[in-house]
């Protein structure tokens, strides 16, 4: 009776008890989602909708420990499924294949100037037969084909210019390299005029040999540079004069797209 009388006369004790009960209820309510219980009707009106939606089994660090082996197995399956998700894996493989074919195809037009440059390397081939084997072996089938059909080189030149360079449906990367190879083919006409039969003896033999060697070295350097850039996916547009003339033919500049 004396304790009841003290509680009745001490209102602060009731308020403290109420506060403790509220705190305990809130704590229990926060742990119930992780323990697999639901929020009771007595607590539901006191919670805001945002608070109810924020309570989920994944928000509590005790979720995996209290949900049992079934939830652990489900979690492992979810992780495996997430690890197997590769975004557009097939599309990426196809894009990689197409990109590789475009890079290799952009190197093919340079076969024409390389075939014509072999005539300018005759002095080098005589002095260093190993260089002749390096360049003649891969180009020998094309040289034999051109000798069997003398007009084949001219037909290939016109076909590449009309159906590749002028066709905007073909990627600009391929058209640029094709036009650069054809322009290099045209430039080779000028040293041929200077070195053909020494122009009736007007040009010394040493000068003819020098022009032939430098022409061969220049063509090889340009072709190697262009092919390396193509295989790396870069536009070989750093060749002085020639690359500028190519841009004038196909339009735009480096980084420009049709």
pLDDT at position 201 is: 62
What is the Cα–Cα distance from 5 to 229, expressed in whole angstroms? 96
**242 burial via Cβ count (<10 Å: 0-12, 13-18, 19+):** middle
| pLDDT tens for each residue of 174-185 | 999 999 999 999
| pLDDT tens for each residue of 111-166 | 999 999 999 999 999 999 999 999 999 999 999 999 999 899 999 999 999 999 99
What is the Cα–Cα distance from 43 to 22, expressed in whole angstroms? 10
Asked if 208 and 194 count as a contact pair (C-beta separation under 8 A), the reply is yes
257 CB-near residues (< 8 Å, 6+ apart): 172
Positive or negative CA dihedral for 39, 41, 43, 45?
positive
Rg of the chain over all Cα atoms, to the nearest angstrom: 40
| pLDDT tens for each residue of 196-218 | 765 556 677 788 889 999 999 99
What is the Cα–Cα distance from 77 to 63, expressed in whole angstroms? 16
**pLDDT exceeding 90 applies to what percent of the chain?**
48
């Amino acid at each position: 009776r004396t304790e009841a009388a003290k509680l009745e006369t001490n209102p602060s004790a009731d308020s403290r008890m109420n506060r403790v009960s509220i705190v305990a209820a809130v704590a229990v309510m926060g742990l119930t989602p992780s323990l697999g219980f639901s929020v009771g009707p007595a607590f539901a009106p006191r919670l805001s909708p945002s608070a109810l939606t924020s309570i989920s089994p994944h928000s509590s660090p005790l979720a995996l420990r209290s949900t049992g082996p079934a939830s652990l197995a489900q979690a492992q399956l979810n992780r495996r499924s997430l690890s197997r998700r590769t975004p557009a894996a097939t599309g990426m493989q196809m894009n990689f294949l197409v990109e590789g074919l475009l890079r290799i195809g952009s190197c093919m037009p340079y076969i024409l100037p390389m075939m014509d440059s072999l005539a300018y390397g005759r002095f080098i081939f005589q002095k260093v037969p190993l260089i002749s084997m390096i360049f003649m072996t891969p180009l020998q089938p094309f040289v034999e084909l051109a000798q069997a059909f003398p007009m084949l080189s001219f037909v290939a030149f016109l076909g590449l210019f009309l159906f590749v360079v002028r066709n905007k449906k073909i990627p600009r990367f391929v058209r640029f390299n094709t036009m650069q190879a054809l322009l290099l083919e045209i430039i080779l006409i000028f040293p041929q005029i200077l070195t053909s039969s020494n122009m009736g003896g007007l040009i010394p033999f040493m000068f003819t040999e020098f022009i032939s060697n430098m022409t061969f070295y220049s063509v090889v350097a340009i072709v190697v540079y262009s092919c390396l850039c193509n295989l790396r996916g870069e536009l070989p547009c750093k060749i002085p004069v020639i690359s500028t003339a190519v841009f004038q033919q196909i339009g735009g500049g480096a980084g420009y797209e049709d």
